[in-house]
């Protein structure tokens, strides 16, 4: 195992300390509760937006804490859900009196722990609403889930819903937009290599030199099938077509196209994937209204990519375009 770490036991703590040292104007880190909070939280009269999950997917979620996106993030141990007390601490920290909105990826531990934290917060008088993202078309049930996994749409939803919350919208309005975004987005990913959890020290799964996994999960969960390596054009067909079909996209519709790296894939390759995706969408007369290309929801050092398509309307585009200032995503400021 070759990694830029000091000790497998201190990876998450030291990464959080590094974030705090580099971005004091944007975030503050509560090491005792292991949460990341926007520097000016709680913002009075604003819905607090909270997300979280296992570490190892950076910059999701901590890199998206700041103005116009998340108010707090709760990183668990690597590939391990945050605990209820941790989530509750985040909710308390961002409660500005207008309620707290939870963005939860559909993994069993995340769902159970966020729901338990919501009950505790409600007992303290904090109004809570939530959405569970479940956009992965690859498999219906997986190692960590009942139903579809929550993946790339989570990032897009955090930005769009974060923009709406920043405008002073009510908890009910935030929840309604989140539900719509989740319903209109689909994703699918693939892997060229495995990844190694520091505490384990060996690859999560074995993949032959001439093989790739189609439909991989962000923790290295199995996908739809294992096949021989193929050109990027063929790989993008394998990912994009099931998404388009599942979403029922038709000629004349608009999408936000998100080409995501899994952690070990260079940007030059992601833009080749983006080129092939643009070709497919153009052939179907589907317009790319907005795009995002880069590594935003990763699986440690895994080489591979995922594609997310979100059918957009004017409201979604308005809040996607709204100013955002976080460690990992910033524009319009």
- Indicate the range of 35-39, 215-219, 322-326, 328-332 predicted with least confidence: 215-219
pLDDT at 249: 98
For the whole prediction, is pTM greater than 0.85?
Answer: yes
What is the pLDDT, as a whole number, of residue 236?
98
pLDDT band at 290 (very low <50, low <70, confident <90, very high): very high
Question: In the numeric block, which tokens belong to residue 288?
Answer: 């790319």
Is the domain of 293 the same as that of 324? no
pLDDT tens, residue by residue, 125-138: 999 999 999 999 99
- Mean pLDDT across the stretch 256-269? 98
Task: Classify 333 as helix, strand or coil.
Answer: coil
Any domain includes 1: no
What is the torsional sign of CA 282, 286, 290, 291? negative
3 occurs within a structural domain: no
Active site residue 57: yes
Flag whether 294 is in a domain.
yes
pLDDT at 93: 98
Per-residue pLDDT at 200: 94
Cα gap 84→119, rounded to integer Å = 10
Measured in whole angstroms, the distance separating CA 330 from the mean position of its chain's CA atoms is 16
Which of the residues 23, 57, 105, 159 is marked catalytic? 57
Which residues have CB under 8 Å from 106's CB, separation 6+?
132, 133, 134, 145, 147, 148, 149, 150
Same domain? For 26 and 43 the reply is yes
How is residue 300 written in tokens? 């440690």
Q: For residues 284 and 264, what is the distance between their CA atoms, to the nearest angstrom?
A: 31
The pLDDT value recorded for residue 134 is 96
- Return the number of other C-beta atoms located less than 10 Å from residue 44's C-beta: 7
Specify whether 219 is catalytic: yes
| pLDDT of amino acid 105 | 97
CA–CA gap between residue 117 and residue 88 (Å, rounded): 5
| Mean local confidence (pLDDT), 156-182 | 98
CA atoms of 243 and 249, how far apart (whole Å) = 9
* φ, ψ for residue 220, nearest 5 deg: 85, 15
Same domain? For 233 and 117 the reply is no
Would you give the end-to-end CA distance of the chain in angstroms?
A: 40
Give me the pLDDT at residue 222, please: 76
Residue 40 shares a structural domain with residue 72: yes
Domain count across the chain: 2
Residue 151 CA to residue 187 CA, distance in Å, equals: 7
Regarding whether 218 and 148 lie in a shared domain, the answer is: no
Q: Grade residue 235 by pLDDT with cuts at 50, 70 and 90.
A: very high
- Dist CA 53 CA 297 (whole Å): 11
**CATH number of the CATH domain containing 201:** 3.30.1180.20
For the cut 90, the answer to whether the pLDDT of residue 220 exceeds it is: no
Q: Token pair 């509750």 is at which residue?
A: 88
Identified catalytic residue from 219, 255, 259, 329:
219
Q: Give which of 189, 217, 220, 188 is closest to 207, Cα–Cα.
A: 220
User: Do 174 and 49 form a contact (C-beta atoms < 8 A)?
Assistant: yes
What's the domain range around 264? 186-313
Q: Do 33 and 164 have their domain in common?
A: yes
For residue 2, being part of any structural domain is answered with: no
Interval 294-308 mean pLDDT: 98
What is the average pLDDT score of the chain? 96
Q: Are residues 78 and 109 in the same domain?
A: yes
Residues 59 and 120 both lie in one domain:
yes
Which runs of E-coded beta strand occur in the chain?
A: 27-30, 35-38, 48-55, 72-78, 100-105, 128-133, 185-191, 211-214, 225-228, 254-261, 287-294, 304-311, 324-325, 330-331
């Amino acid at each position: 195992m070759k990694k830029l770490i000091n000790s497998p036991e201190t990876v998450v703590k030291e990464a959080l300390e590094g974030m705090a040292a580099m971005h004091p104007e944007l975030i503050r880190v509560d090491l005792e509760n292991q949460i990341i909070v926007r520097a000016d939280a709680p913002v009075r009269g604003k819905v607090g937006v909270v997300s979280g999950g296992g570490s190892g997917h950076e910059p999701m979620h901590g890199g998206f804490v700041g103005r116009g996106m998340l108010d707090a993030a709760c990183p668990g141990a690597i590939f391990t859900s945050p605990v209820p007390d941790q989530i509750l601490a985040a909710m308390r920290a961002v409660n500005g009196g207008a309620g707290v909105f939870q963005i939860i990826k559909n993994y069993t531990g995340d769902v159970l722990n966020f729901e338990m934290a919501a009950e505790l917060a409600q007992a303290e008088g904090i109004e809570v609403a939530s959405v569970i993202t479940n956009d992965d078309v690859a498999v219906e049930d997986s190692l960590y889930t009942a139903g579809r996994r929550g993946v790339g749409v989570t990032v897009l939803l955090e930005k769009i819903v974060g923009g709406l919350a920043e405008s002073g919208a009510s908890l009910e309005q935030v929840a309604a937009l989140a539900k719509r975004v989740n319903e209109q987005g689909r994703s699918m990913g693939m892997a060229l290599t495995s990844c190694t959890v520091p505490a384990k020290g060996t690859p999560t799964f074995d993949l032959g030199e001439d093989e790739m996994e189609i439909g991989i999960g962000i923790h290295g969960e199995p996908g739809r099938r294992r096949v021989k390596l193929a050109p990027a054009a063929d790989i993008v067909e394998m990912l994009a077509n099931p998404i388009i079909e599942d979403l029922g996209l038709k000629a004349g519709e608009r999408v936000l196209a998100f080409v995501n790296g899994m952690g070990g894939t260079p940007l030059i390759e992601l833009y080749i994937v983006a080129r092939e995706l643009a070709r497919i969408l153009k052939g179907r007369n589907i317009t790319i209204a907005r795009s995002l290309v880069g590594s935003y929801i990763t699986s440690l050092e895994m080489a591979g990519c995922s594609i997310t398509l979100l059918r957009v309307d004017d409201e979604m585009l308005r809040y996607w375009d709204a100013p955002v200032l976080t460690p990992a995503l910033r524009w319009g400021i």
